[in-house]
């Protein structure tokens, strides 16, 4: 005697074939796209030179210029005179010509002249972004 099993109507309504097709198509797309990216890096090419080309640079490291209450400049924990600071800033601009940042941190008791000196040096060597930091108030 054969047993008759009554299947529900809900399983007949969902067709999984289009969903499976889409998953396979996405899988193939990503596999093909990743192969193209690898092929671009594998080819050894001697690139031409250009006289006005800018070097590809990484995100520049911010230079912090600290000024103590007597007006002495400190960069990376080293005391510097104005001409030494200018050389450091000039080299930083050579390394990152478009986006070098110099953060000026001056003691609140320092006269204005050393702060203006650092700002003038930044302008002289071509640093465009040289913010003066302050402390958050109470």
pLDDT in tens, 31-75: 777 765 444 444 455 555 656 656 555 566 789 898 888 888 999
* pLDDT reading at 124 higher than 90: yes
Long-range contacts of 117-120 (CB under 8 A, 24+ apart): 117/82, 118/65, 118/67, 118/73, 118/85
CA 115 to chain centre: 28
Q: What phi and psi, each to the nearest 5 degrees, are found at residue 127?
A: -80, 125
Q: Are 74 and 66 in contact (CB under 8 A)?
A: yes
Length of the chain: 138
The CA distance from 89 to 64, in Å, is 11
Percent of the chain past pLDDT 70, that is, above it, reads 71
Select the more confidently predicted residue: 77 or 1. 77
Q: Find, among 95, 73, 87, the residue nearest to 124 by Cα.
A: 87
Select the more confidently predicted residue: 24 or 6. 24
The CA distance from 109 to 112, in Å, is 9
Structural domains of the chain ordered from first start: 63-125 (3.30.420.270)
Percent of the chain past pLDDT 90, that is, above it, reads 26
């Amino acid at each position: 005697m054969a047993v008759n099993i009554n299947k529900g109507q809900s399983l007949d309504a969902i067709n999984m074939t289009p969903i499976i097709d889409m998953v396979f198509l996405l899988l193939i797309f990503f596999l093909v796209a990743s192969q193209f990216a690898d092929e671009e890096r594998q080819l050894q090419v001697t690139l031409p030179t250009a006289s006005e080309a800018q070097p590809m640079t990484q995100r520049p490291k911010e230079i912090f210029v600290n000024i103590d209450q007597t007006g002495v400049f400190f960069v990376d924990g080293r005391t510097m005179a104005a001409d030494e600071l200018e050389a450091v800033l000039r080299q930083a601009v050579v390394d990152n010509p478009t986006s070098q940042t110099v953060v000026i941190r001056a003691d609140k008791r320092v006269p204005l002249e050393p702060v203006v000196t650092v700002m003038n040096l930044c302008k002289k060597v071509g640093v465009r972004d040289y913010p003066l930091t302050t402390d958050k108030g109470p």
